[in-house]
Chains A and B, each alone.
Chain A
Amino acid sequence: MQSGLNSEVFDKFARIAGAINNSEVENWKKQGGKVMGYFCSFIPEEIFIAAGLLPFRMRATGSCGTDQADVYFSSNNCSFPRHCFNQALVGKYDFLDGLVVGTSCDNLRRIYDNWKISSVKTSFLYMMDRARTSGEPMVEYTLSELRKLKAGMEAHFKVTITDEGLWQAIRLTNATRRLQQQLYELRKADSPPITGAETVPIMVSSFSMPKEKYNAGLTTLLGELRGVAGSKAYRARIMIVGTGQDDTFLCDLVENQGGLVVMDQACWGARTMCRTIAETGADPLQAIARHHTLDVPFCAKMNAAFQKRAQFVLDMIKAYRVSGVIIEHFVSCEPWGVDSVMLKQRLDEAKVPYLQLVRDYIPSQIGQMTTRVGAFLEMIGGVL
């Protein structure tokens, strides 16, 4: 379905999301700036911003294969880290001055080990741990890890990361989150002015450019969107839950067949922005640690957090009047694979229809997936 969106700002966001390197990164580098890549949403951009670096969240956009990465990984490993690493091996991430890999899942954390022995030369390569269970004692552990990261960055980049710098960075990223929350609010409408496929590049680009410019752009875009008449010509309102979503593949699959993606609980979407970090307190790093250990809806890798994750999904189903959920994850993703077993039970109890899709980063069997999504939409929304 079309929403009538015609925006230069959106086009810019789409260009940035549609490639790894982009004009903003190039400008940043031309001005002598440094770029810090990072894996996973729990790695705090705020520390990088306070250090004067441009945070860049790693993705595999544009990857065509994993031939080089598979010398290090196995085909048994999740395709997302393999594609990301492959992009690094073919030079797409040569602009990085540093990389922080979070100890998230078994597949992804091995990027650190393999990057270290590979031909990719990144001067600052760091692995950061964090608590894998939610709870107050865990905040202290995550905080200790943040302090180590800060110290490591200060030593390497010869900068001082001050508390005031961190608070400023928190206020900046919170401003991003609040703007994105406004964007998502628009999707609650009967006729949202924006589709899921359009939301994805807006979200992805936020991790690939300076936040100040992004916030200014999104503010403009929100103003434009408020004047857009959306369409009610969709047959079902869909929420996507799971991994991935640094590209529009899944949203396109839904929306090209008459569905509308109105909400998500995904790594590049709502999970990253639905809660803000506290802007007051004694220690900004503690505020960040609390946010990532206690507040966010969490990915499936976080233990003792399923109930919270599931409740978030159910709350959003209500708030966004979702008619069906698509649970998606990559092949070889054990956390989401098993989480989906539990989530399906909860959705059954709540009588919410769902479809589970398991795919590779570059999906094969697109025809089959298209048919399954089409049948699902017909089942829950009828014929268009």
Chain B
Amino acid sequence: MNGAKNDASVDAYTQLKTDFAAITAKSFQARLNEFVENKTPIIACTDDFFPELFTAMELPFYFSVRQGLEGAFHTGKGPEAVDGYSELGGSSSLCSLQKAAAYLLVKGKLPKPAAIVMTSTSCDAQTAVNELMSNYKPWAAVPRVSVDASFEKDEASMAYLGRQWMDCIPFIEKATGRKFDLDRLKEVCEESNKQCGLMFDFQELRRAVPSPVRADWGFIAYMTGRWAACGRPEATEWLQRLYDVTAQRVKDGLGIEGVKEKIRYAWFDILPCWSDKLFPRLEQAFGAVNLMDLYGYNAPWPVIDTSSLESIFTSFAKRFLIGNPMTRQIFSLSSVYGNDAVHIARNFKCDAMIMPSHVGHKDGAASHRVVKDMFRQIGVPFLVLGCDVFDERYMSPDVVFDKISTFFETAGLTGR
């Protein structure tokens, strides 16, 4: 919780949190049980899929991988799901979030969808679990389509991906009985453009010294604008309020309440499920403030061009491939990850960069040297952890704290 010198700011953030909870409670994700009971058709799809279409069609959906989070780690059942996955005899090195999603699937705890749309997305782990879902025997009769996302990022490749998604519309209509309306999609896209603009503007506020908010607000903004209420006016209004109250804090020169900011760093991966056991300690021990996580980082989102159906879907492809966090960094050359991290370090005045290198992120693990070299060139201390951002049993928060402490000390950042 961020505090402020004045009550208005405190109240505003409290209200934002309350409203975020309310927005999330109304989201498709939160109401899956209701849809199952009412036999409302649901789409299962890949994470990072464009939610604009589902908002326009009022079509409930869930991301396969997000189930591992919502259904396991956020309910305290993460370790049980991870350990349960081992019964399946799959790869022990699989990301624990994917293990949880896979476990929930084979235990029949995921809602049976009316259709499955899988895109060959960011990482091997996610793609592999998508395959598991697509071949899950109890769902053998569920119609499914597999979309190919290109590693290339040129215009032709964007059009290639966009066309495949566009071709999914009749498939989705047939599988769910929902009708597609281009005008409605345009409305939603235009709202989504505003939301992504606000997410980016909010991010830019965090260049301020001291940082007006903690990193988790970036993730919360992402969840609101992309997951919970993409293209819905209530999310736009929420993001505007977040921007306004934070802009005021920047104007007033306010930092995070109770924290005398001495070290600015970024945690360039997913925020851990055990964040509360780490970041507050770093704040108190060192005045170290986390400015940004991967989902709070908005490389500018490509604007959705709503001039035609084709341009909309090509824009979706651009967002997916070069805008969306994780996909942008993972499904590309190491230099993209490195350049994004360097951009944050330089423009957000980071004293240090922490690369959590989540154990499931094999591509990231293989990018250390590339990124380290970049940081050596700009003279910003850089730490690679190798933790598990979901399952704290892999590397406890205490050990992570010790590693970061030593890193800060070695880099001469403490004692300021």
Binding site for B on A (CB under 8 A): 71-74, 76-78, 81, 103, 105-107, 109-110, 112-114, 117, 127, 129, 131-133, 135, 137-138, 140-141, 144-145, 300-301, 303-304, 306-307, 329, 331-342, 344-345, 356, 358
Residues of chain B from 358 to 384 with CB closer than 8 A to chain A in the complex: 359, 362-363, 365-370, 373, 384
Residues of A within 8 Å of B334, CB to CB, are 110, 113-114
Task: Beyond A72-B369, A114-B369, A356-B89, list 17 extra A-B contacts (CB 8 Å).
Answer: A71-B369, A72-B368, A76-B365, A106-B123, A106-B362, A106-B363, A106-B366, A107-B363, A110-B367, A132-B148, A303-B131, A332-B91, A334-B93, A334-B123, A334-B362, A337-B128, A342-B132
Complex Cα spacing A342 to B88, Å:
9
Verify A129–B152 contact, CB threshold 8 A.
yes
Give the shortest distance, in Å, between A21 (CB) and chain B (any CB). 26
Closest to B163 in A: A137
With beta carbons under 8 angstroms apart, the residue of B146, B369, B370, B386 that contacts A304 is: B146
Whether B366 and A304, one on each chain, are in contact in the complex, defined by CB atoms closer than 8 angstroms, is: no
The residue that A76 contacts in the complex, of B135, B151, B362, B369, with Cβ under 8 A, is: B362
Please give the distance in Å from A201's CB to the nearest CB on chain B.
29
- Tell me, rounded to whole Å, the shortest Cβ–Cβ distance linking B315 to chain A: 19
Report the bound CA distance from A140 to B43 in whole Å: 28
Given contacts A74-B357, A338-B128, contact A131 B89 (CB under 8 A): no
The reply to whether B156 and A337 contact each other, CB–CB distance below 8 Å, is no
| B residues near A300, Cβ cutoff 8 Å | 128
Least Cβ–Cβ distance between A372 and chain B, in angstroms: 13
Instruction: Decide if B369 touches A117 in the complex (CB within 8 Å).
Output: yes
Helix, strand, loop or mixed for chain A's interface? helix
A331 touches B148 (CB 8 A): no
Asked if residues A78 and B362 are in contact (CB atoms below 8 Å), the reply is yes
Residues of A within 8 A of B157 (CB): 141
Chain A residues within an 8 Å CB radius of B370: 72, 113-114, 117
Please determine whether A103 and B151 come into contact, CB atoms closer than 8 angstroms.
yes
In the complex, what distance in Å separates the CA atom of A129 from the CA atom of B149?
A: 10
Q: Smallest Cβ distance from B388 to chain A, in angstroms?
A: 11
Task: Give Cα distance in the complex from A335 to B88, angstroms.
Answer: 15
Whether B368 contacts A74 by the Cβ 8 Å rule is yes
A144 contacts which chain B residues (CB < 8 A)?
156
The contact sample of 30 A-B pairs, CB cut-off 8 A, is A72-B368, A73-B366, A76-B362, A76-B386, A103-B151, A105-B362, A110-B363, A110-B366, A112-B333, A113-B335, A114-B366, A117-B373, A132-B149, A133-B148, A137-B148, A141-B148, A141-B150, A141-B160, A144-B156, A304-B118, A306-B134, A331-B91, A331-B92, A332-B362, A334-B98, A335-B128, A337-B94, A338-B94, A341-B102, A358-B92
The answer to whether B132 touches A338, judged by C-beta atoms less than 8 angstroms apart, is yes
Question: How near does chain A come to B273, taking the closest CB pair, in angstroms?
Answer: 19
Measured in the bound complex, the distance between the Cα atoms of B160 and A131 in whole Å is 11
A325 vs B130: C-alpha distance when bound (angstroms): 25
Instruction: Give chain A residues whose Cβ lies under 8 Å from the Cβ of B363.
Output: 106-107, 109-110
Given A74-B366, A110-B334, A137-B164, A334:B125 Cβ within 8 A? yes
B129 at interface, CB cutoff 8 A: yes
Q: Which residues of B contact A109 (CB under 8 A)?
A: 151, 363
What A residues does B359 contact at CB under 8 A? 76
Residues of B143-172 at the interface with A, using a CB-CB cut-off of 8 Å, are: 146-152, 156-157, 160, 163-164
Task: Decide if A331 touches B89 in the complex (CB within 8 Å).
Answer: no
What's the nearest-Cβ distance from chain A to residue B5, in Å? 44
Kindly list chain A residues whose C-beta atoms are within 8 Å of the C-beta of B150. 129, 131, 141
Report the contact-size class of chain B (Cβ under 8 Å from the partner).
35 or more
Let me know if A337 and B90 touch, CB within 8 A: yes
Most buried by B among A113, A127, A140, A345: A113
Chain A CB within 8 A of B9 CB: no
Interfacial chain B residues near A73, Cβ < 8 Å: 365-366, 368
Q: Is B396 interfacial (CB-CB < 8 Å)?
A: no
* Given A141-B160, A334-B94, A341-B89: A113 in contact with B366 (beta carbons within 8 A): yes
B243 to chain A, nearest CB (A): 35
Chain B residue, CB-CB nearest to A111: B366
Chain B nearest CB from A65 CB (Å) reads 17
- Taken together as a complex, chains A and B put the C-alpha atoms of A119 and B127 apart, in Å, by 33
Check: B234 CB closer than 8 A to any chain A CB.
no
Give B99's nearest chain A residue, CB to CB: A338
Which of chain B's residues 317-340 have a Cβ closer than 8 Å to chain A? 330, 333-335
Give every chain A residue within 8 A of B373 (Cβ-Cβ): 117
Lowest 4 CB-CB distances: which A-B pairs, in order?
A337-B91, A110-B366, A304-B146, A338-B128
Whether B124 is near chain A, meaning CB under 8 Å from some CB there, is yes
- For A127, what are the chain B residues with a Cβ–Cβ distance below 8 Å? 151, 333
Q: How far is the CB of A66 from chain B (nearest CB, A)?
A: 12
In the complex, B137 has a CB within 8 A of chain A: yes
Query: Which B residues are CB-close (under 8 A) to A336?
Result: 91
Contacting residue for A301 out of B92, B124, B335, CB 8 A: B124
- Tell me the nearest residue of chain B to A102, going by C-beta: B151
- Residues of B near A356 (CB, < 8 A) are 89
CB closest chain-A residue, reference B106: A341
Decide: B146 and A306 in contact? CB cutoff 8 A.
no
Given contacts A129-B150, A137-B164, A303-B127, contact A341 B132 (CB under 8 A): yes
Q: How far is the CB of B111 from chain A (nearest CB, A)?
A: 21
Roughly how many angstroms separate A341 CA and B90 CA in the complex, as a whole number? 6
Question: Once the chains bind, are A145 and B152 in contact (CB under 8 Å)?
Answer: yes
Bound CA–CA A91/B304 (angstroms) = 49
Q: Within the complex, what minimum Cβ distance (angstroms) separates B127 from chain A?
A: 6
Q: Give the residues in chain B near A303, CB-CB below 8 Å.
A: 118, 120, 127, 130-131, 146, 148
From residue A126, how far is it (CB to closest CB) to chain B in Å? Answer: 13
Contact, CB under 8 Å: B94 / A133: no
- A42 smallest CB distance to B (angstroms): 13
Given A304-B134, A338-B94, also A72-B125 (CB < 8 A): no
- A106 proximity list for chain B (CB < 8 A): 123-124, 330, 362-363, 366
When C-beta atoms are compared, the residue in chain A nearest to B118 turns out to be: A303
- Shortest A350–chain B CB gap in Å is 14
The complex places the Cα of A131 from the Cα of B163 at a distance, in Å, of 14
- Tell me whether A132 and B362 are in contact in the complex, defined as CB-CB below 8 angstroms, given that A334-B91, A341-B90 are known contacts: no
Q: Which of B102, B151, B333 is close to A113, meaning CB atoms less than 8 Å apart?
A: B333
A329 to B124, CA, bound (A): 14
In the bound assembly, the distance between CA atoms of A81 and B366 in angstroms comes to 10
A113 nearest CB neighbor, chain B only: B334
CB distance from A368 to the nearest CB of B (A): 15
Chain A residues, CB < 8 A from B118: 303-304
Q: Is B148 in contact with A131, judged by CB distance below 8 angstroms?
A: yes
Contact between B164 and A72, CB atoms less than 8 A apart? no
Q: Which residues of B contact A345 (CB under 8 A)?
A: 137
